[in-house]
Amino acid sequence: MIRALLFDMDGVLADSEGISLDIGIAYFASIGVHADRTSFSSAIGCGERTFFDKTASLLGLSGPPYCYDDASAFFRKEYTERIKNLSISLPGAGIVRAAHERGILTALCSSAPEWKVFANIEAAGLERSDFDFIATGKDIKRNKPEKDIYALALIALGVDASEAVVFEDAAGGIESGKRAGCRVVSMETTIGKEEAERAGADAVIKDLSSIPSFHDSGELESFLFAKSLPPKRYGAVMIKPCGKGCSENILIEEARKAWEHGYAPYSGFRVGAALVSAATGRIYSGCNVENSSYGATICAERNAITTAVANEGAVGIDTIVVYSDDDPPAPPCAVCLQVLSEFSSPDTSVVLVTPNTEPVRYKFSQLLPMPFIFPTMR
């Protein structure tokens, strides 16, 4: 049951992302550096310091003429001026009051500075009293995509993560909500559906106005998450998908941790793997374990699969990450592909990663287009 709604501000309740980006571009122009909106894409929603510092780094600036304090002062002056007498409410922002009236707790969880959050609340036509709790960048040490701001809100409201829904619009924010253990609904105001789902969003809507009027939390729950997904064939088994999202970054991190534990004294080639169960959304990981008798060696992918089966029985694999230090990233071996085929659909995502490269993504059918499935199990 939903007991609390946790809202990001920019791009969810307030149409302010564009203003922030334009000011960021203007600041870098003021020090003679060209930037455009794509320069800030990986820093959106992660706080003002990250917004400027990360973008400066991507632009090749490690010092003067760039200075964060100057950028922050420039931003506050420009933003305060531009937002005067401006309505920046996004469609559907009234859901905050509607939820409050229906006994659902509400919190505002924004990485932005406190002055900006309060200015945006007013410019969006809301009141501070519309929220049971407000957290801003000053309240946390670690900003999004870390879980801290949403974990803080859960503690303040006294609700369990399973009882809260996060509304976000950026990959970093989605990951933050997922790390806190909440279900996350993404708006398409900043990123598209595919990127939101890759970040782990459990549901994607155009904006808050997509949510119809609701009388209680049950009706809201049904609209956001009620899914009647039919059973789906994963290799030799039929599994009913739960439809839960999982952040690719979280999955990569679990595979990396497993990689660190790889036992490979003979080859020196460690591998880690982590997969998502289609039925439960749970993550299972494994590493390679070599043996003096090479034939007894267990690959990371098979280790993760057997762990999943030991916990759930027949399993369907939604996504699997394979982490190694090979270059280019190493794919599963032929034996692992055959084992994977027992529990994978043609569109199961296989993500290959190394410490120094961007993820490379394949559909399982691209790696093994004609898997062998025992005739009676097809």
Q: Rounded to an integer, what distance in angstroms lies between the CA atom of residue 305 and that of residue 317?
A: 9
By C-alpha distance, which of 207, 200, 1, 180 is closest to 95?
207
What pairing do the DSSP bridges indicate for beta strands 237-239 and 232-234? antiparallel
By C-alpha distance, which of 378, 66, 29 is closest to 236?
378
By C-alpha distance, which of 173, 129, 126 is closest to 149?
173
Under a CB-based contact definition with an 8 Å cutoff, are residues 167 and 185 in contact?
yes
Under a CB-based contact definition with an 8 Å cutoff, are residues 226 and 109 in contact?
no
Q: Give the orientation angle of helix 300-312 with respect to helix 334-341, to 10 degrees.
A: 20
User: Which 8-state DSSP code applies to residue 330?
Assistant: P
Amino acid letter at 211?
A: I
Number of residues assigned to the chain: 378
The residues with which 168 forms a beta bridge, in sequence order, are 186
Catalytic residue of the set 301, 312, 342, 358: 301
Q: Give the orientation angle of helix 48-58 with respect to helix 17-30, to 10 degrees.
A: 50
CA distances from 376 to 32, 37, 293 (A): 68, 54, 34
The residues with which 285 forms a beta bridge, in sequence order, are 274
How far is the first Cα of the chain from the last one, in angstroms, to the nearest whole number?
Answer: 38
Within the chain, where are the H helices? 17-30, 48-58, 68-83, 95-101, 114-123, 148-157, 171-179, 193-199, 217-225, 248-260, 300-312, 334-341, 364-367
Amino acid letter at 304?
A: A
Known catalytic membership, residue 17: no
By C-alpha distance, which of 54, 75, 76, 64 is closest to 33?
64
Using the structure block, give the residue that is written with the tokens 């939101």. Answer: 196
Residues noted as catalytic: 301
